[in-house]
Amino acid sequence: MDLGLQGKVALVLAASKGIGRACAEALAAEGAAIALGSRNQETLEQTAREIRERYGTPVLVSRTDVTRAEDLEAIVNATLREYGRLDVVVNNAGGPPVGSFAQFDDAQWQAAFELTLLSTVRLIRLTIPHLKQSGRGRIINIVSTSVKQPIEGLLLSNAIRPGVIGLAKSLSSELAPDNITINNVCPGRILTDRLRKGPGMQQKLDQGVSEQDALKDLARGIPMGRLGQPEELASLVAYLSSSQAGYITGTTIQVDGGLVRSLY
Ligand code: NAD
């Protein structure tokens, strides 16, 4: 299926590795020109080189900490200077730290709010005028299954990520007249550094469990019986960015091998 992304421009954040990178690759594979933001300039440039070589599509990079308003403004401006348009925005970042209620003070709550919700608000605010001009704008927020079913030990994610869902649902009505869609994608357990280097994994390795067995343990409880691959989530992001997905807005879709048991 041709997703109609040739000649379109996509901005992807936290894109030098993991899910963000996979989304950038999926969009590049469909012929979109890409703008990549992430905090580490070296990894960012390496990723950009690899994507250019593999897909032959233009890739621009701009060092971006999503919690810094000035970085978000800089990458949006750089994208427009370079490509003259913007059609797809993928809001992505790292997740807030693991922990329970007693462990977090005001500063940590504030930091989680800035990382998870305020960064999304700011990028959407900056990009709406350009997505309107596109005539078929697409916004995709990478969230977590915590918005469907709270995850033990991830209190900050459980409490703050649902704000992104409320934001997106409200904006889906406001932006529909301009033909802009906005949707949320929830990773279940997707095999990236976040899982490979996460605290649960490290604890098992320290106990002498092999990496293979530790990963098998992480897949326990997933009906599909395995962890997901970043590309499996990125395919959905590419589809939600497509011309064909123009009537899908305000949705929250999990890519989780059946992990979430809730009806909605
Ligand atoms: P990852 O740790 O592999 O990659 C996250 C990237 O975000 C890293 O490159 C990191 O440097 C970057 N990042 C962190 N803070 C940033 C900031 N302030 N500005 C810019 N970049 C920043 O994680 P991932 O698995 O690719 O996860 C992507 C998102 O999906 C995260 O929000 C994560 O919490 C969420 N998620 C992932 C899973 C999973 O199983 N992988 C499950 C649920 C939710």
Chain segment 46-101, per-residue pLDDT in tens? 999 999 999 999 999 999 999 999 999 999 999 999 999 999 999 999 999 999 89
| Number of domain units in the chain | 2
What was the pLDDT predicted at 201?
85
What was the pLDDT predicted at 204?
87
**Overall average pLDDT of the 241-262 stretch:** 97
| pLDDT over 80 at 199, yes or no | no
Nearest ligand 1 atom to the CA of 194 is 2
In angstroms, the CA 97 to CA 148 distance is: 19
Substitution candidate for ligand 1 out of 67, 155, 194, 232 with most atoms within 8 A of CB: 194
Is 65 a pocket residue for ligand 1 (Cβ < 6 Å)?
yes
Same domain, 123 and 206: no
Same domain, 104 and 219: no
The tens digit of pLDDT for each residue in 100-141 reads: 899 999 999 999 999 999 999 999 999 999 999 999 999 999
What was the pLDDT predicted at 261?
94
In a domain, 3, yes or no: no
Same domain, 182 and 196: no
pTM of the model: 0.97
| pLDDT over 90 at 240, yes or no | yes
212 is in which domain, residue-wise? 192-227
Is 34 a pocket residue for ligand 1 (Cβ < 6 Å)?
no
Which percentage of the chain shows pLDDT scores above 70? 100
Same domain, 95 and 220: no
